[in-house]
Amino acid sequence: MNTFQSIIIAIIEGLTEFLPISSTAHMSFANPLLGIDHHDPFVQLFEIVIQLAAIATVVVIYYKQFFDFKNISFYLKLMVAVIPALIFGALLKKHIDAALGNLMVMAIVMIIGGVVLLFIDKLFSNNQQAPKELSYKQSLIVGCFQVLSILFPGLSRSAATIIGGMSQQLSRKTAAEFSFFLAVPTMLAASAKSTLDVYQDNPEVFTSTNLTTLLIGGLVAFVVALFTVKFFIGFVQKKGFALFGWYRIALGSIIIVLLITKII
């Protein structure tokens, strides 16, 4: 992976991480088009770590919530919500690795997720008033929905947790924000695990050149995501999720055609 490729992938990550359209799928689809070998250990590490860099924008934008140490329940509920992903992520690592290498499966999941998003606004149209505070039970249920994105790469962690939140009578805004919050411990754990695995299996990956590439990619993803978060919250409050559903269906269909015709 050269610097140009890393910047393009980082831009894609920053644009898609918080949208319910699967950043993982977008990076996986872009890799063959850019001539990137997804099986390269550094590429796999890069894609995980820049997701954490993008998600770090949540801490910056919502710093009052993250650094309100008097509100212990905020941290406890994030811990409760992240537990299912930690358990299933560890148990299903081989499944995840295999699924990430199957672009056809990811494209199909993109389409199915898109169809769900077409109806989510009508399905939860009564979610007008968000509760002042999520309960521990609601936090755990949203965390269980996050597991779906682990089982089905291409579904989108953001989409799964937002749908989970709305199933608990949360408004679009509250569901989206809790999805953002939950991403922080989830991706922090994923990045730490990925870094440790690569270091143990392929320590030669940690060269100064690769670390510089990782730093550049992280900075680009962070800056792009900073603007995406603000756009997304405003957009879903006014327009809902249907546009993202149509986008997923269109992209998934295009990828299937490209795979069938062996263009990628």
What SS3 state is found at 19?
coil
Q: What's the CA gap between 22 and 236, in Å, rounded?
A: 16
> For helices 208-239 and 3-16, what crossing angle results, to 10°?
30
Structural domains of the chain, count: 1
pLDDT bracket for residue 96 (50, 70, 90): confident
Q: Determine the average pLDDT of the residues in 59-86.
A: 94
pTM across the whole model: 0.92
Residue 41's contacts (CB-CB under 8 Å, 6 or more residues apart) are 198, 201, 202, 205
Three-state SS across 42-104?
A: HHHHHHHHHHHHHHHHHHHHCHHHHCCCCCHHHHHHHHHHHHHHHHHHHHCHHHHHHHHCCHH
Q: Which helix (H) or strand (E) holds 107?
A: helix 103-123
Burial (CB < 10 A; 0-12, 13-18, 19+), residue 146, is buried
Residue-level pLDDT at 171: 86
pLDDT bucket at 39, cuts 50 / 70 / 90 = confident
Q: What is the pLDDT of residue 243?
A: 96
Whether pLDDT at 132 is above 60: no
Q: What gap in Å lies between CA 127 and CA 175, rounded to an integer?
A: 10
- For the cut 60, the answer to whether the pLDDT of residue 124 exceeds it is yes
The chain-wide mean pLDDT, for the chain, equals 92
Identify whether the C-beta of residue 13 lies closer than 8 Å to the C-beta of residue 221.
Answer: yes
Domain carrying residue 127: 3-260
Q: What percent of the chain has pLDDT over 70?
A: 98
pLDDT attached to residue 241: 94
Average pLDDT over residues 179-200: 92
- Burial class of residue 12, CB neighbours in 10 A (0-12, 13-18, 19+): buried
Rounded to whole angstroms, how far apart are CA atoms 144 and 165?
A: 11
User: Does residue 251 register a pLDDT over 60?
Assistant: yes
Residue range 11-23: mean pLDDT, rounded: 95
Work out the pLDDT band at 101, boundaries 50, 70, 90.
confident
Indicate the pLDDT class of residue 155, thresholds 50, 70 and 90.
very high
